Structure 1
Amino acid sequence: MSISRRLYEAVMTRDVQAEANLDEQVRRDVPYNAVRLVGAHALQSSGDQTVNASTVLPWLFQALGVPPALTGLLVPIRESGSMLPQAALTPVVLRVRRRVWVFVTGALIQAVAVAAMALVAATGSGLGAGVAILAALAVFSFGRSLGSMSSKDVQGRTLPKGQRGQINGLSTTAAGVVAITLGVALRAIGGGDLSATQIAWLLGAGAVMWVLTAVVYAGIREPVDDESHARQPDTRPGAAREEAETPWWRASVQLLRDDAPFRRFVIVRSLLLVSALSPPFLVSLAAQSGAGAISGLGGFVIASGLSALLGGPVAGRLADRSSRTLMAVGAGVASAVLLLIVVLTLLPGFDGDSAWGAVLFVGSYFALTLIHTGVRVGRKTYLVDMAEGDQRTKYVAVSNTAMGIILLIAGALSSALSVLGVHWALVFLAVLGVLGVVAARRLPEVSVG
């Protein structure tokens, strides 16, 4: 028995019926591909942690003396920049038979972008350095969009239903181990602060991680002539020409308009932003309340890593049972946590600098990131399971482009409300989460149960 198969059978709960539906060669390669996928995503997560737009890059901007106004652009460029181009890139990606190479190309682009950031961190300062890093981050996000479009298609081609969620969970767990290790190292090296030179070395290591990601992913044995995953052609007269001539933006609108299950998924995904957008506001509220417990770059990285480590394996198995239910429960619990925070922090005499105030903020931050881990695993698994072949690629691209726009709108609304008070932003996000529970329960079930 190969090492890959031994590892696979040691950590996976197998679905024999789902595996039986695969072609013989694909079935034989499942253990090998599963180990490669987990390894590649663990390396990818290592690279992600070194260039995190919510933790590492803001610290770098502060160390370089970049104007604060540019710091506010980091997360929008990182998140929306990787989502918005995907619908436009869909026709190009669909021409590539082996989607593995799309991912590899994206990983190498990200490696070059992170290496450029490291060079700027080591040699630049002030406004010029900030602009250069933002430009490199935009290139990084473009490479990430290629990886996002292709990775779900590769996973759908190489793994059976009932095991994709577990792979997502294991990848998330590996990412958690990496984050905790990195966080502890950062605390040991720089304490509560790090110099620009130290962060430059960190970014250089991240570039190496992205190169290794490309190397490992390139070894995946992806089927290219598997008819069971082929897109069903439209046999209407002139349909092929019509599809080729339709602009990407019009095709995206048509898909959202005509495909009701997909449209409902995009709506649900929009409402699940409660767990994605709330942590920064929680940190802001903690700072306003005088809490000093959530501070230091290493502390942030450790908290996010611990949530991934604990939540990854559980979320993966729950997603394979019912990714729809996992999303609904995650949105509901996140909303409850936010409302509890609002009520407790508005109580007369609340002191964020007290022991129980620190526990409230630290515990709530950890809880929200843990919930977000489950929501992300559930959302990814649902999207992989709901379609096959090129249709899955279209779903991923169009939903991510739509989410790029929605993320900017939701972020702007919550930021505007925070001007009135952080509590208003948290209540707004909690209401979104409650609506997400209702909407997610109405999604069709696509998991094997």
Structure 2
Amino acid sequence: MSKQTTVEQVYEAINSGDDGRVCKDIPEQACDHQPKNVSTHIVSLASTKVADGLIDPKLILSWLLSALGASTFLVGLLVPIREAGALLPQLFTAGALRRLPQRKWAWALGSLVQGLSVVGMLLSAIFLEGKAAGIVIVVLLGVLAIARSVCSVSYKDVLGKTVSKSMRGKVTGLAASVASAGVIIFGLVLASGYVERMTLVLIALGVAATLWIFASLMFTKLEEAPGATEGGGNPLEVAKKNLSLLKDRQLLLFISVRALLIATALAPPFMVTLNGNGGIENLDSMLGGLGALVLASSLASFLSSYVWGWLADQSSRKVLLLSSIVAMVALGTTVFLAELDLVRHSIVLPALLFVLMIAYHGVRLGRSTHLVDMATADNRAAYTALSNTIIGLILLTGVGFSAIAQYFGHVVVLAVMAVMCLLAALLSLGLKEVQE
């Protein structure tokens, strides 16, 4: 009996306990390459997820722009551009990408562009400052977001063609777990204070760029059989053709709740820079400063995602309701303590961010589960395309929060977002229990 390679050992460890039908729903030639493909997916996906955490626009890039002296307006643009940029381009490119015989090349190119974009951010942070650094980094984040949208569209198709259905959850789950551990370690190093924070953040950008480029090269080694180019309809056209679906009161209500809850994604940068120009010094005087914030965010994801997922399977409506209330409490408390000038003390801000990020992950899991379960096989694609189109457009209006912060202050923005979460909670009461 020949000695197993490391790739084969990893594959068998992941696939232990399977009933042997691992190749039932993929091409025969893909079955022959399962060990290699599974390992390639895990390494590539984990690398990009770690890279995502190392440049997190909600925390890392927000902190970096503030440290470089960029305006509050530019800091406030980060998350809307990142979120909308990763969503809206899919409406125009999805059809063309799905017509490619081998979509691994699209994913590899997208990962490469993301890595090169972060190289540009790193050089900007080293050689520029103030408004110039802020503008360049925001523009590069837009390029990164578009490249990410290409990866997002192509990845699910590649996964479906190269990895058996019985293993896809294990592959993505293991990659996510590895990435969470990596970001938690980064947060601990930041919080330790052993390395000067700006230096460590710049190193993190360099590591993130390297990981994206490495993932791009790794993914080209994937054994993907050509074919399956049919079904490349453009989601934008689907959305336009199905505007009449908004007559469905439940769909309209769901989109309204989801739109209001974009506050959970947009709020963190305004919390990070809550104290204005003195925010960085105030953060550094806290326990671990930025490290504590990164740690709070990554731990929230690690600890809450499974619980929210389990609850969503029972009642996605209640998950949306509960996460709305939790977000409202977190943001409302932040506003209250900011008015009392107490957010700079001890671990108050990291604790508040931890609670908000728990709500954020609840929103993500609740909304995806609710949309899938409320739709039928006949209208699910149309519901998804229409919902994503509307939310993508609404996210672009998120830049308005930057203007509000510039003229009225961060506290006002966070107060508005707390009210949005309250309205989302009230509207979610009208959603049906679609799991029933």
Question: Do both proteins adopt the same fold according to a TM-score greater than 0.5, normalized to the shorter chain?
Answer: yes
**C-alpha distance in structure 1 between counterparts of 2:27 and 2:360, whole Å:** 35
The CA deviation string for residues 12-48 of structure 1, in whole angstroms up to 9 with x for no partner, is: x858789645555555655544443332222112221
What's 2:279 paired with?
Answer: none
Kept after mapping to 1: 8 A contact 2:46/2:179: yes
What's 2:293 paired with?
Answer: 300
The alignment yields a C-alpha RMSD, in angstroms, of: 4.7
**C-alpha distance in structure 1 between counterparts of 2:246 and 2:26, whole Å:** 27
> What does residue range 229-244 of structure 1 map to in structure 2 within 5 Å?
231=231
> What does residue range 307-318 of structure 1 map to in structure 2 within 5 Å?
307-311=300-304, 318=310
What's 2:360 paired with?
Answer: 372
- CA gap 1:437/1:34 in 2 versus in 1, 3 angstroms: farther
SS for the counterpart of 2:222 is coil
SS for the counterpart of 2:15 is helix
1:431 equivalent to 2:423? Answer yes
- CA-CA distance at 1:140 after TM superposition: 1.3
What's 1:252 paired with?
Answer: 239
The CA deviation string for residues 196-223 of structure 1, in whole angstroms up to 9 with x for no partner, is: x554333222211111111232233334
**C-alpha distance in structure 2 between counterparts of 1:354 and 1:268, whole Å:** 29
Kept after mapping to 1: 8 A contact 2:313/2:369: no
What's 1:4 paired with?
Answer: 10
What's 1:37 paired with?
Answer: 41
What's 1:237 paired with?
Answer: none
What's 2:152 paired with?
Answer: 148
Kept after mapping to 2: 8 A contact 1:50/1:203: yes
What's 2:183 paired with?
Answer: 179
**C-alpha distance in structure 2 between counterparts of 1:354 and 1:387, whole Å:** 46
1:113 equivalent to 2:102? Answer no
> What does residue range 317-328 of structure 1 map to in structure 2 within 5 Å?
318=310, 325=314, 327-328=316-317
Identity of paired residues, percent? 28
What's 2:217 paired with?
Answer: 215
The CA deviation string for residues 384-433 of structure 1, in whole angstroms up to 9 with x for no partner, is: 99999xx97x9877754443212234674899698757445213214324
**Matched residue type, 1:37:** H
Residue-pair matches, total:
415
- CA gap 1:438/1:162 in 2 versus in 1, 3 angstroms: farther
**C-alpha distance in structure 1 between counterparts of 2:371 and 2:29, whole Å:** 24
- CA-CA distance at 1:314 after TM superposition: 5.8
Runs of 5+ unmatched residues, structure 2: 277-281
**Matched residue type, 2:299:** L
Kept after mapping to 1: 8 A contact 2:301/2:361: yes
1:89 equivalent to 2:93? Answer yes
The CA deviation string for residues 320-344 of structure 1, in whole angstroms up to 9 with x for no partner, is: xx96557545323312323545787
What's 1:332 paired with?
Answer: 321
**Matched residue type, 1:144:** R
> What does residue range 390-401 of structure 1 map to in structure 2 within 5 Å?
400-401=388-389
> What does residue range 199-214 of structure 1 map to in structure 2 within 5 Å?
199-214=201-216
Kept after mapping to 2: 8 A contact 1:326/1:375: no
**C-alpha distance in structure 2 between counterparts of 1:361 and 1:273, whole Å:** 20
- CA gap 1:17/1:441 in 2 versus in 1, 3 angstroms: farther
What's 1:240 paired with?
Answer: none
What's 1:405 paired with?
Answer: 393
**Matched residue type, 1:432:** A
**C-alpha distance in structure 2 between counterparts of 1:378 and 1:153, whole Å:** 24
What's 2:197 paired with?
Answer: 194
TM-score by length of 2: 0.74
**C-alpha distance in structure 1 between counterparts of 2:352 and 2:275, whole Å:** 10
- CA gap 1:161/1:333 in 2 versus in 1, 3 angstroms: farther
| Higher deviation after alignment, 172-181 or 373-382 | 373-382
- CA gap 1:407/1:421 in 2 versus in 1, 3 angstroms: closer
| Higher deviation after alignment, 100-109 or 75-84 | 75-84
**Matched residue type, 1:406:** I
- CA-CA distance at 1:345 after TM superposition: 7.7
Kept after mapping to 2: 8 A contact 1:266/1:399: yes
> What does residue range 257-276 of structure 1 map to in structure 2 within 5 Å?
257=244, 269-270=258-259, 273=262, 275-276=264-265
- CA-CA distance at 1:278 after TM superposition: 5.0
The CA deviation string for residues 61-96 of structure 1, in whole angstroms up to 9 with x for no partner, is: 233222333222222222212222221223431331
**C-alpha distance in structure 2 between counterparts of 1:406 and 1:440, whole Å:** 24
- CA gap 1:30/1:382 in 2 versus in 1, 3 angstroms: farther
- CA gap 1:274/1:330 in 2 versus in 1, 3 angstroms: farther
